[in-house]
């Protein structure tokens, strides 16, 4: 079966541009997480969905960051007016339920110039 996929794998944006990052979780996985991973660091939590409901967005660094999962499957992380400090790898992970291990996508490397 297919794993978690993310697109694009690499994105270069000019400062001030908007970007949209897509995540296709494993079919049937209820939980979906977004993380930000800076170089040399572990993943940092951004937001969590249970089906289509965004239950926690406490990790989003600013109101420029927005995530959605309208039909409870595919999710999109949108960053408006990108800044250089947004440069990082954005990881998506899904799991069957809240207590289960997570399955990660390959990530999207965002570079803001």
Partner 1 sequence: AQSVAQPEDQVNVAEGNPLTVKCTYSVSGNPYLFWYVQYPNRGLQFLLKYITGDNLVKGSYGFEAEFNKSQTSFHLKKPSALVSDSALYFCAVRRSGGSYIPTFGRGTSLIVHP
* Nearest distance, CB of residue 46 and partner 1, angstroms: 10
Toward partner 1, which CB reaches closer, 16 or 61? Answer: 61
With binding defined as CB under 8 A, does residue 74 bind partner 1? Answer: no
Among 45, 54, 66, 87, binds partner 1 (CB under 8 A): 45
- SS3 of 57, please? coil
Residue 43 in contact with partner 1, rule: CB under 8 A: yes
Name the region of 68 (left: φ>0; alpha: ψ -120 to 50; beta: rest).
beta
Give least dist CB 42 to partner 1, A.
Answer: 3
CA angle 102, 48, 89 (to 5 degrees): 70
Judge contact between 13 and 76, C-beta under 8 A: no
User: Is 21 an interacting residue with respect to partner 1 (CB under 8 A)?
Assistant: no
Work out whether 98 is an interface residue with partner 1 (CB under 8 A). yes
Q: Output Rg (C-alpha) for the chain, integer angstroms.
A: 13
């Amino acid at each position: 079966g297919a794993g978690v996929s993310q697109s694009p794998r690499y994105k270069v944006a000019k400062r001030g541009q908007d970007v949209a990052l897509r995540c296709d979780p494993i079919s049937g996985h209820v939980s979906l997480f977004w993380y930000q991973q800076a170089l040399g660091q572990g993943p940092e939590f951004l937001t969590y969905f249970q089906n289509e409901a965004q239950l926690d967005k406490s990790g989003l660094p600013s109101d420029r960051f927005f995530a959605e999962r309208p039909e409870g499957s595919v999710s999109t992380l949108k960053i408006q007016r990108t800044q250089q400090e947004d440069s990082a790898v954005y990881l998506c992970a899904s799991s069957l339920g809240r207590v289960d291990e997570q399955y990660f996508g390959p990530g999207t490397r965002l570079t803001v110039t």
